[in-house]
Chain A
Amino acid sequence: MSQPPYAADLGLQLCHDCGQVCRLSDRDCPRCDAVLHRRKPNSIARTWALLVAALIFYLPANLLPVMFTDLFGHGSENTILSGVIEFWKGGSWDIALLIFIASVIVPCMKFFVLALLLVTAQRRSRWAMRERARLYRFIETIGYWSMLDVLVVALVAALVQFRTLSTIEPRLGILFFGLVVVLTMLASMSFDPRLIWDAERQDAR
């Protein structure tokens, strides 16, 4: 079974904004005016920078409280993990698991997969290219579900506002956590999955 040709070998490139097939010599897409790039510019350096920034912010996101709860005069602060544990102890193990997946497993998986993709692309590795391509598409689809905890905190803080009786307020940790989600989304957007396949081509990059 023969493999299809690569666009660059035919003197072509893709417009990411409208899907138009353009010539390699075009600087802008003739159809939608978007700037064209054979590969996303500085993909590897940019993705590393965003990934490292996200990793750094992930520490305060987990160590600082994300929420302050005052119930009938009993004030307490919750981090993401202590919130999960509270759900677990309260018997809602399903919600505990859901938040744990969205807030811990999904971001950690994104860190790991992006680092793996970056290292293998830098080494021009030909190992498991199809599987790596699939991994990339997977983290692209699941990434934004990490916003779950930010939205939950926003909702309960908007609702529980009974001055003297009870209040819930967001805390600094949720800012860092939200930034982690945004940074990992930007990181996976700036990674160019075509770099995986460039290992097969001689003159690439």
Chain B
Amino acid sequence: MSTDLATRPDAPDDAPLIICEHCDSVYRRPSLARRQSAHCQRCGALLERGRHLSTDQLLALSIAAAVLFLFANAFPVLSISLQGLSNEATLWQTVEALAQGRITLIALVTGLSIIFAPGLQIILLIWVLVHARSGRIAPGFRTCMRALEHLRPWSMLEVCLLGILVAIIKLAGMLDVHPGLGLWAMAMLTVLIILIGGRDIRDLWNELGVPSR
């Protein structure tokens, strides 16, 4: 359900202010229920979303994501066989395949987008959430939260998942392709990262009452 702020003047006058990051409009923070969202009256951008998951739920999903991340990286995502020979590839080997001479730079970008960014997201989330669960502000909270903001656009597991699908179809014509354990782990991990990697985490700033310096 979506709410236009103009039709909801029920935000109390002393509610804290929020600013639309896309057009600089100022509003009073609306109180939103689950599944409700508020959009900017001027530019239409999403302003606020009712929180989907509690801190406990976020932490549980982050830990599940950490386990899946280990599986996704430890086991091959695909294996192929051709005339009795077989070969398999893990995520790391996929990145390594691009680390050849002049094009090595692109291996770094790929490594960031399918291994380092999601991995770091999970570690930082667990660190921040473990402390938040007992109402504490984790050491390095500010740095962790800012790092999470900057990592988000570079985490591209969903693109990798589609890439694996395309690779399967591309190779299926000439040899036998088998999905590996790593692929199933990665598919589940992708869903989890979409759930936990979003902007819900920003609520911690207010919930923990992080003081201004």
Spell out A's residues near B (CB within 8 Å).
1, 3-8, 10, 12-14, 16-21, 30-34, 71, 87, 90, 92, 95, 98-99, 129-130, 133-134, 136-137, 144-145, 147-148, 150-162, 165-166, 169-172, 174-175, 178-179, 182, 185, 189, 193-194, 196-197
Contacts and interface: CB of A to CB of B under 8 A. Distances in A.
B106 A196 contact: no
A159 B163 CA distance: 13
B44 A133 contact: yes
Given A17-B149, A145-B162, A156-B171, 13 more contacts: A1-B6, A19-B205, A30-B213, A32-B205, A136-B22, A144-B113, A151-B94, A151-B110, A151-B159, A153-B98, A160-B175, A161-B87, A194-B24
A197 B40 CA distance: 13
A14 B22 CA distance: 10
Interface of B: 5-6, 16-19, 21-27, 41-45, 77-80, 82-83, 85, 87-89, 93-98, 100, 102-103, 105-107, 109-110, 113-114, 142, 145-146, 149-150, 153, 156, 159-160, 162-164, 166-167, 169-171, 173-175, 202, 205, 210-213
Contacts of B23: 133, 193-194, 196-197
Contacts of A87: 170
A186 to B, nearest CB: 10
Nearest to B5: A4
B17 A12 contact: yes
A170 B98 contact: yes
Contacts of B210: 31-32
B26 A30 contact: no
A170 B100 contact: yes
Given A4-B41, A5-B26, A155 B145 contact: no
B94 A154 contact: yes
Contacts of A148: 159, 162-163, 166
Contacts of B89: 155, 158-159
A18 to B, nearest CB: 5
A33 B142 contact: yes
B166 A18 contact: no
B106 A14 contact: no
A148 to B, nearest CB: 6
Contacts of B110: 147, 150-151, 154, 178
Contacts of B42: 3-4, 130, 197
B43 A193 contact: yes
Contacts of A145: 159, 162
Contact of A155 (B18, B94, B211): B94
A30 B212 contact: yes
11 contacts: A4-B27, A4-B42, A6-B24, A21-B16, A31-B142, A33-B213, A129-B43, A150-B109, A152-B167, A160-B80, A170-B97
A196 B159 CA distance: 30
Contact of B170 (A12, A33, A34, A95): A95
Nearest to A87: B170
Given A133-B22, A159-B88, A197-B42, A154 B109 contact: no
Given A30-B213, A151-B110, A6 B26 contact: yes
Given A6-B25, A14-B21, A98-B166, A158 B106 contact: no
